[in-house]
Amino acid sequence: MSPGNLHDEPRILNTLRAFIAVDLPPDVRTQLDAMTGRLRCLPGQECMRFVAASGIHLTLKFLGEISPDLAAGVHNVLDDAASSVPGFTIRIRGVGCFPNSRQPRVLWVDLDDPRGMLKTLQRAVEEGCARLKLLAEDRPFSPHLTLGRVRREAGAGAGAFVRSVLESERTLDFGEMPVDAVHLFRSDLRPSGAVYSRLHSAALGGGT
């Protein structure tokens, strides 16, 4: 996700750019901010466009532009999906890149989901969205937190920089993070960056 701020109770217009995600607790955002601060000090970092920690989410599904009526249907999808999955924890550790370290495009922090609960939640969301005729994701779900993207004008040095990050941060471990709710977010693109609004939240396990 791109940099942004989070606000509740937004004003909904005719269409909205939306996505479904798990929000991150403040301590995780603090650690991500510290990490990107370290990376900005490394030689070659100018090849990257880093994401502000305030704008990082654990995205389960990007919806694109949808109508308010469809958003209301997604509320029900989230309620149903969340009620079918109990709360759980994941571990935030390790770094990686897409598609590979020779020609990287995205640098990310890895998520350890040993019980497969995050994938179970994402699958429940995907199945519910399919009932609303929303297109399925065109690639397998690969949970991660995006740290930054390689600039289009970056040259061959981007690969060397990303490989140096993979080596220097290979022992990264932020510890466990609870997952107790799933949210529908709206993203408003502005010159200063995206502004995120929470449209709906559903507690896992049918909690409140």
Asked whether residue 101 is assigned to any structural domain, the reply reads yes
Number of domains within the chain: 1
Helices (H), the chain: 26-39, 68-83, 117-131, 157-168
Residue at 10 is within a domain:
no
pLDDT tens profile 50-71 = 999 999 999 999 999 999 999 9
Task: Give the CA distances from residue 55 to residues 1, 25, 138, 195, in Å, rounded to whole numbers and listed in that order.
Answer: 6, 12, 24, 8
Sequence-distant (≥ 6) Cβ neighbours of residue 146 within 8 angstroms: 1, 51, 56, 106, 107, 108
Is 72 within a domain? yes
Residue 80 counted as domain residue: yes
Sign of the torsion angle spanned by Cα atoms 109, 174, 2, 137: positive
Q: Is 57 a catalytic residue?
A: yes
Provide the pLDDT confidence category of residue 27 given band limits of 50, 70 and 90: very high
Least confident of 4-13, 90-99, 198-207: 4-13
- Mean pLDDT of the chain, nearest integer: 91
CB atoms within 10 A of CB 182: 27
Which candidate in 7, 144, 183, 200 is catalytic? 144
Residue 14 lies in a domain: no
Q: Which of 7, 57, 75, 200 is catalytic?
A: 57
As beta bridge partners, residue 145 has 109
Does residue 77 carry a pLDDT above 50? Answer: yes
Mean pLDDT of 81-89: 97
What mean pLDDT comes out for the span 27-50? 95
- Specify the pLDDT at position 208: 61
Indicate if the pLDDT at residue 44 is higher than 70. Answer: yes
Q: What is the pLDDT of residues 161-180, one digit of tens each?
A: 999 999 999 999 999 999 99
Provide the pLDDT for residue 120: 97
Domain that holds residue 103: 20-201
Q: How far apart are alpha carbons 91 and 88 in whole angstroms?
A: 10
**Least confident piece of the model among 57-66, 77-86, 130-139, 176-185:** 130-139
CB atoms within 10 A of CB 163: 14
The answer to the question of residue 7 being in a domain is: no
**CATH number of the domain residue 104 falls in:** 3.90.1140.10
Q: Does residue 161 lie within any of the structural domains?
A: yes
Question: Does the active-site annotation cover 200?
Answer: no
